[in-house]
Structure 1
């Protein structure tokens, strides 16, 4: 894929994976709109890569409409949309309804709302690309993080539906599903950090490189951590064994949490 001159939007691009993707797209010659709730971060990244900052909410109805309209004004057309913004809120069954709503809003409905505004135009043009940043949690699960796991599964499912429905009409849809990446989210993961870091902790630039390679062959699943493929296949073919293993991991997490509480008391 040649992105030289292409109009690209990256949401959640003020930090982490989004920032790295925006920088890589700009380096490859794309015209990039940098979106983030953090207006200062968006402006800083845009200045660094020669892009255009369009700060704001990339999830709500009004926010998505404003972002798409502003991006079209600046780019003329949106050729590639990286739905990268995401949140990790709540934990288990005691997660309040407000956190569940936030997870669904940002990790799922942001993608739906963007697609509603982008796909009709792409169908007329006969081409367009949407790349969703999901997570390995969307293919496997995230112990300790019910809203994150559920919403990322939904993100992958929506991307699959888009691909199945519109892939034959020129629209390419892809899902990025990394494990541990050295971002603020990993830094705030607490006891889960060791679990997420079990294989390899990648830098955001490593993920951006995997994304660039994924753009070249249009593969649906972009897996910066290759081992996720084997986990995903084992989960599908040996579901009960997979769940038994996950329960053992959960027991280890429970023990770690109990030990930590005793040390603090």
Structure 2
């Protein structure tokens, strides 16, 4: 896929991976609308990228999990640049408490990490199928292929995000619809540093670990250490570069940390051995 001249929308675009993806897209000739809940940070992103690509960047304040807000985002993008051809479902909520996580935390994670993708696809697919083209990117996580020590909410919802991306590809891949699933490990974002998202749900995605609603300090600390101890912590722009490479090659699975593929193979080859190894790793973090 050549992104030059494409119209893209990026949710969670005020910081972290989303901001980096938006930057790389405009640098490569894309017209981009970045969406987030944080008005001030969206303005900063637009100012920064306008200096790089005048007239090819716009901001939208909205909640990625709200279908009406998503519809307004797509309508705003079409009014400014044309129909969205590349949608990056990037906004996310990071790990929070362990098994004691309240239902409200589960609901928030499911809304932003899963249902936001479903609602966006529901709005986009009719037009894409009519035109015979479109590309949907899900920012999931290595946690969606492996697991997230310390956070069931993050692990479960990121597995669901990967599953939904797979389903989209299987169902619509022969009808001109591309799907990519971005699955990094640790990325140097506010989420990885355990800082709360500045704009609330869906504001900032880094994948790896971060702040969830009412997060238990012990579980969150363990989740953070599990990620930073598992491999390199990448700069968000490195992740954006990996995604651009994946889009050019029209790859489904985009792994900024290549070692995740080997971990995933080991998991599939001997699940019980992999689980035992993960338990040992968890004990080392206690």
Question: TM-score, length-normalised on structure 1?
Answer: 0.93
Q: Which residue number corresponds to residue 249 of structure 1?
A: 281
CA RMSD of aligned residues (A): 1.1
More helix per residue: 1
Candidates 176, 194, 208, aligned match of 2:225: 194
> How many residues align structurally?
254
- Find the counterpart in structure 1 of residue 82 from structure 2: 76
Aligned counterpart, 2:30: 30
Deviations for 1:229-254, whole angstroms, at most 9, x for unmatched residues?
Answer: 0001111111000000111122223x
1:59-112 deviation per Cα after TM superposition (whole angstroms, max 9, x unaligned): 122222222222222221101000000002532110000000000000000000
User: What SS does the corresponding residue of 1:132 show, helix, strand or coil?
Assistant: strand
Secondary structure at the counterpart of residue 167 of structure 1: helix
Q: Give the CA deviation at 1:223.
A: 0.1
Q: Quote the Cα distance in structure 1 between the aligned partners of 2:95 and 2:140.
A: 15
TM superposition outliers: structure 1 runs of 4+ over 2 Å = 189-195
Deviations 1:22-73 (A, max 9, x none): 0000000111101111111111111211210011101122222222222222
Query: 1:225 is matched with which residue?
Result: 257
Is the 8 Å Cα contact of residues 90 and 96 (structure 1) preserved in structure 2?
A: no
Give the 5 Å matches for 1:78-117.
78-117=84-123
Distance 1:131 1:19 in 2: 15
Please state whether the residue corresponding to 1:184 is helix, strand or coil: coil
Report the CA distance between 1:191 and its aligned residue: 3.4
Q: Secondary structure at the match of 1:187?
A: coil
The equivalent position to 2:61 in structure 1, one of 55, 66, 70, is: 55
Taking the aligned partners of 2:5 and 2:248, their CA distance within structure 1 comes to 16
1:10 match: 10
Task: Indicate if the aligned counterparts of 1:10 and 1:83 stay in contact, CA closer than 8 A.
Answer: yes
- Structure with bigger RCO (C-alpha 8 Å, 6+ apart): 2
- Unpaired runs of 5+ residues, structure 2, are 51-56, 195-209, 211-220
What CA distance in whole angstroms lies between the structure 1 residues aligned with 2:100 and 2:223?
Answer: 18
Distance (Å, rounded) in 2 between the aligned partners of 1:187 and 1:60:
27
Structure 1 window deviating more from structure 2 (172-181 vs 52-61): it is 52-61
Moved more, 217-226 or 36-45: 36-45
In the TM superposition, 1:140-179 aligns within 5 A as 140-179=146-185
Match of 2:41 in 1: 41
Query: Could you tell me which residue of structure 1 aligns to residue 240 of structure 2?
Result: 208
* Equivalence for 1:125: 131
What secondary structure is seen at the aligned counterpart in 2 of 1:8?
strand
Question: What is the TM-score normalised by the length of structure 2?
Answer: 0.87
Unaligned runs of 5+ in 1: 256-265
Structure 2 residue 266 is matched with structure 1 residue 240? no
Specify the SS of the correspondent of 1:22: helix
Q: How far apart, CA to CA, are the structure 1 residues paired with 2:233 and 2:9?
A: 26
Question: Does the Cα contact within 8 Å between 2:74 and 2:83 map onto a contact in 1?
Answer: no
Tell me, yes or no, if the aligned pair for 1:35 and 1:55 is still in contact at 8 Å: yes
